Structure 1
Amino acid sequence: MRAEKKLSGVETLKRESRGLRGRLAEELAEGGIQVSEDAYNLLKFHGSYEQFDRDSATRRKQAKLEKEYQFMVRCRMPGGVTTAAQYLALDSVADRFANGSLRITTRQGIQFHGILKGDLKGSIAAINHGMLTTISACGDVVRNLMTTPAPRRDARHERVLADVQRLAQALLPKSRAYYQIFLDEEPVAGHSEEETLYGPTYLPRKFKIGVALPDDNSADALANDLAVIAHFDAAEQLEGYTIAVGGGLGMTHNNARTFPRLATPVCFVGPDRLIAISEAVIRLQRDHGDRGDRRRARLKYVVEDHGIAWIAETLAQYYGEPLTPPRPLPELTVPELLGWHEQGDGLRWLGVPVPSGRIVDSGSVRLRSAIREVVERFGVDPVFTAQQDVLLSNIRPEDAGAIDGILAGHGVVPASAMTPFARFALACPALPTCGLALTEAERIQPQFIAMFERLLEANGLSGERISLRTTGCPNGCARSYAGDIGLVGRMPGFYAIYVGGDFNGTRLSFRLLDRVAEGALESKFAALFAAFARDRRGSEGFGDFCDRLGRETLLELTGDGDSKAA
């Protein structure tokens, strides 16, 4: 029997919240510019985080003024799929309530920044009126489900997307708090809100699911708590799913008990057992996750602490029958989704690059206006990718030229004019909105991309597909530990360098250097790229090259063999 451990304060709050209600309705009605700590924690379950403008915080404090509090609101859209009407509703929210931009998340959602407390309820209601929702986009529940965004109209893609949407619906909380607080739903007498899956305190921490096809791991499935890999036969009939558990990339600097981890295969299930096995994994995490230490509350630590054999034995009990051993993982790849593609039904899609996922009009590049005009005029249906780009789907071939013209007329840079490096660069928002950021990410990403492009060109490597993931803190929102290069915020102006992962998301990177000043990054990577160009084997990728050489050899190349910075 496990020893009882003192619960964290958030656990007590959830238990006493009356189904995630707390005093949220009262606090939203009371006015003011911020919410209490309890409301801050409960709002996450409803899709919102309280933030403040960190650029102005010090100046306002010196002037004895309050911080400029604002709220982020995140939408939940399984697989990143929206209709034209839904997208236009989101575009309207950006002006009516937010800061004039929409931001594509690395989990295929959309989030808004700069929403004031007085507009929080109205913004969430407007999103729902557009037939979308924010429920379970944040909080200790199953977050937005990810899968391949490619709108290919074939049996494989249609089956996987349908299963993802069914699974997403099955895993929603039963509480009606969201609908009563934000949509003015009246309580219904006798209606049960018993959380048969989550329990009265929900999960110990957030829970992420990624579903992949072997030839499209755009979702970085193995970086999720629950990774699902689809297997089809030659006739495109679904044979079933390999289930892997215990992925997750967040960690804490200087805390060796926290670390990134990729999911481990545990079983194989038939085509119609995805919901059942997913619920079993969630119940296992619900009952065995650490509710005393939120830094170690994710499923990956349960897997790491107990081992995969214990996980399989325990999971079988929750599943209600013996588990079928997992099939060998197929080779996973990440395809090019930007530019023009045939859907397979006579229509086409256009993948439009969105730097750091920010759909905004800025200077000569009026990306938001361009996308809005294309959606309004041609009724295309946007799909958001885990790479923070947008795929404009269901385009008639005869409209392609006009759409290209609209985008060009608004200054939008097409994928064909970008290097592969720029196309596969990710960044989290970081400063000035994220309260966890230690340094810049999104705002400095253009400088980083330009620097890396110079180095690649100097070494004859401009055509290489190399992934860059930049985060302002170690929580890994841009999956900084699973690509070729990860830059992880360490303190203002300094980053830890991670290398040795692979482009396709099947191997973790390792920390090469710690606390590297942003101005010193160029010299470090100049040495690494020169060695890569000189000593790579065949078509070996940069991450594979770094993994083969190993940390000690790479440190010799950068001149840090004896450095404490390593």
Structure 2
Amino acid sequence: MSSKTQPDRSHDLSQPLDRLGPDETLKAESDYLRGTIQESLADEITASVEASDAKLMKFFGLYQQDDRDVRDERRRQKLEPAYSFMARLRLPGGVCSPSQWLKLDELARAHAGETLRLTTRQTFQLHRVSKHDLRTVMQGLRDVLLDTKAACGDDTRGVMCAVNPNLSDLHGQVYELAKQASDHAVHKTGAYGEIWYGEERKETKGPEEPFYGRTYMPRKFKIGFAIPPSNDIDVYSQDLGFIAIADGGRLKGFNVAIGGGLGRTDQAPQTYPRLASVIGYIDADQLLETIDAVMSVQRDYGDRVDRSRARFKYTIDDKGLDWITAEIEERLGRALGPAKPYTFTSNGDPLGWTTGDDGREHCTLFIENGRVVNTPERPMLDGLRAIAQVHDGTFRLTPNQSLIIADIAAADRPAIEELLRAHGLDESERGRSGLRLNSMACVALPTCGLAMAESERYLPDLLTKVETILDAHGLRDDPITIRMTGCPNGCARPYIAEIGLTGRAPGKYNLYLGGGFHGERLNKMYLENVGEPAILEALDETLGHYARDRSPGERFGDFAIRAGYVAEVQEGRFFND
């Protein structure tokens, strides 16, 4: 990344370390993320790593976790927790080749509990990887040109992009830029190769991290590319969002949106979700320098003392949007152009078969909560492996945890269809309600250390009960977005769903209503810290009212506001009011 965008407070550490938060001190003293990770991995006495190394390993896409289903029992037996690691891939735009899929399948079966997880940011997660298998997994990924760099940590997370580059020339153009953005913004430290591939440390002529410096970003920084009229990536939830502007199917440039972020803490009213603000327009050839300018503002002015207030959204609200925009323009050396008109109409996935501009076929499968696993009635892992063995196109992961088998020649479609039928995958969406097909859940229990309630394991059962309500009111086929997380951090983007649920305690959730169907509006809390009976009662009342009194074409989220169930949230700062 360019180092022109100075000043950079993170390089010279003009703020004394004792005035920075402990995570900033850890990064500054880590020798560019090396820490003592090598020593922690070599320690055979424990399945864990040192706490400081666990934080640094996030920059390499790795989270240390333990199985919370057995935590209490192991404590009673005076055993350490059942530690393992989650490995998250860097996969810009969610694009995966068949050979890469086959390697991931192999690694999942051997080292990750025979399951793959498709995430809400278009990538894969491997769960339950033991510490002593980590290098094997990382080197296996390298064999097929994959890595886990910057998939977590205080850096630029995986870059999202509107799905299926082969659907049109425009999608392909935007995907190529998204991939460039990912390669441009990823951290440059040699620690990754040294720790995971056994490479020797190389001397560098200049700073090892010419853009990030010793303390990297104040917090995670998310980038995404949307192509109207689909807002499938939820562009307003990104720290930096690019909205494609095209003319005659050819990309002209992007509207720039800044300051999105959905994490919050229930007991900290100074934290809140925020939707990104559109600040102007750039031509396509100005993309990378704009990324540098925007990121450097957050790098230099983001809060490095209070991590709960360190995301870009708070920097913008504290400094003011006009001030931040002016600072970005100063670093660019020019003013942004006026934002161009655009329209979003949805943020879901068109399931089933579609045909691209070039006549090639694409099949989008509904993967409930992104979990790819074999079950007796639906051996999904086996089926997708069989398809990868014969498919000569690509796989595409969507931001809604669906999977596209992409770029299929017309002559090859019958063979793919037969494999789908043989493994029970040809009816991935058939018979499922519009609500279920527009649902998402985070992993939550038992592996996520932040989860306070179930999510992935619970939402399907809850939806079955809600579907009874939908049937009673004639709403089964209506698309309504519902998203659930096991804590308030918002990984499944619950605060922009028409129905959102965030965990508070085992079996207890906050219920939110009123989000925008295509991700353009935050929702609002309707019930706090309630269990399933209260949730079902509330949904029966509100959905029934919606079925009776909605206007033609009115979405449920819009109705919830019009009918007075919740107030419209105009800005994130007022979310908790």
Under a length normalisation based on structure 2, what TM-score does the superposition of the two structures give?
A: 0.93
Within-5 A mapping of 1:471-486: 471-486=485-500
2:471 is the counterpart of 1:457: yes
* Equivalent in the alignment of 1:140: 154
The question of whether the paired residues in 1 share the 8 Å contact of 2:349 and 2:402 is answered with: no
2:522 is the counterpart of 1:508: yes
* Equivalent in the alignment of 1:16: 29
Letter in 2 for 1:396: A
Aligned-pair distance for 1:289? 0.7
The question of whether the paired residues in 1 share the 8 Å contact of 2:165 and 2:175 is answered with: no
Secondary structure of the 1:311 match is helix
Which stretch of the first structure deviates more once superposed, 342-351 or 189-198?
Answer: 189-198
Secondary structure of the 1:461 match is coil
For 2:204 and 2:504, how far apart are their aligned partners in 1?
Answer: 52
* Equivalent in the alignment of 2:375: 362
1:350 aligns with one of 349, 352, 363: 363
1:197 aligns with one of 175, 191, 211: 211
Within-5 A mapping of 1:186-335: 186-190=200-204, 192-233=206-247, 235-334=248-347
For 1:417 and 1:396, how far apart are their aligned partners in 2?
Answer: 28
Secondary structure of the 1:496 match is strand
For 1:256 and 1:102, how far apart are their aligned partners in 2?
Answer: 36
The question of whether the paired residues in 1 share the 8 Å contact of 2:245 and 2:340 is answered with: no
* Equivalent in the alignment of 1:166: 180
For 2:244 and 2:203, how far apart are their aligned partners in 1?
Answer: 42
* Equivalent in the alignment of 1:7: 20
Aligned-pair distance for 1:519? 3.0
Which stretch of the first structure deviates more once superposed, 51-60 or 518-527?
Answer: 518-527
Residues 219-247 of structure 1, C-alpha deviation per residue, up to 9 Å, x if partnerless?
001101111101011x2222211111100
2:509 is the counterpart of 1:495: yes
Residues 356-410 of structure 1, C-alpha deviation per residue, up to 9 Å, x if partnerless?
1011102321111001101102334111011111100121223323322322222
| Structure-2 change in CA distance of 1:402 and 1:3 (3 Å) | closer
For 1:329 and 1:309, how far apart are their aligned partners in 2?
Answer: 22
For 1:326 and 1:296, how far apart are their aligned partners in 2?
Answer: 28
Secondary structure of the 1:272 match is helix
* Equivalent in the alignment of 2:480: 466
The question of whether the paired residues in 2 share the 8 Å contact of 1:175 and 1:193 is answered with: no
* Equivalent in the alignment of 1:423: 437
RMSD: 1.9
* Equivalent in the alignment of 1:559: none
For 1:377 and 1:237, how far apart are their aligned partners in 2?
Answer: 33
The question of whether the paired residues in 1 share the 8 Å contact of 2:560 and 2:566 is answered with: no
The question of whether the paired residues in 2 share the 8 Å contact of 1:484 and 1:499 is answered with: yes
Letter in 1 for 2:136: G
* Equivalent in the alignment of 1:374: 387
2:72 is the counterpart of 1:58: yes
* Equivalent in the alignment of 1:524: 538
Secondary structure of the 2:69 match is helix
2:403 is the counterpart of 1:390: yes
2:119 aligns with one of 93, 105, 110: 105
For 2:271 and 2:324, how far apart are their aligned partners in 1?
Answer: 19
Letter in 2 for 1:67: P
* Equivalent in the alignment of 1:560: none
Aligned-pair distance for 1:520? 2.4
For 1:453 and 1:197, how far apart are their aligned partners in 2?
Answer: 50
The question of whether the paired residues in 2 share the 8 Å contact of 1:374 and 1:380 is answered with: no
For 1:323 and 1:525, how far apart are their aligned partners in 2?
Answer: 44
Residues 326-355 of structure 1, C-alpha deviation per residue, up to 9 Å, x if partnerless?
334533533543201102222201111111
The question of whether the paired residues in 2 share the 8 Å contact of 1:338 and 1:415 is answered with: yes
Letter in 2 for 1:415: E
The question of whether the paired residues in 2 share the 8 Å contact of 1:350 and 1:392 is answered with: yes
Structure 1 gap segments, 5+ residues each: 555-565
For 2:21 and 2:415, how far apart are their aligned partners in 1?
Answer: 56
The question of whether the paired residues in 1 share the 8 Å contact of 2:524 and 2:566 is answered with: no
The question of whether the paired residues in 1 share the 8 Å contact of 2:222 and 2:238 is answered with: yes
Which stretch of the first structure deviates more once superposed, 150-159 or 298-307?
Answer: 150-159
Aligned-pair distance for 1:437? 0.2
The question of whether the paired residues in 1 share the 8 Å contact of 2:444 and 2:456 is answered with: yes
* Equivalent in the alignment of 2:573: none
2:197 is the counterpart of 1:183: yes
For 2:388 and 2:107, how far apart are their aligned partners in 1?
Answer: 16
Aligned-pair distance for 1:552? 5.7
Under a length normalisation based on structure 1, what TM-score does the superposition of the two structures give?
A: 0.95
Letter in 2 for 1:181: I
Structure 2 gap segments, 5+ residues each: 1-8, 569-576
The question of whether the paired residues in 2 share the 8 Å contact of 1:176 and 1:193 is answered with: no
1:408 aligns with one of 384, 402, 421: 421
Aligned-pair distance for 1:176? 0.8
For 1:530 and 1:277, how far apart are their aligned partners in 2?
Answer: 47
* Count of residues paired in the alignment: 554
Residues 445-480 of structure 1, C-alpha deviation per residue, up to 9 Å, x if partnerless?
111221221111110111111011000000000000
For 1:215 and 1:99, how far apart are their aligned partners in 2?
Answer: 38
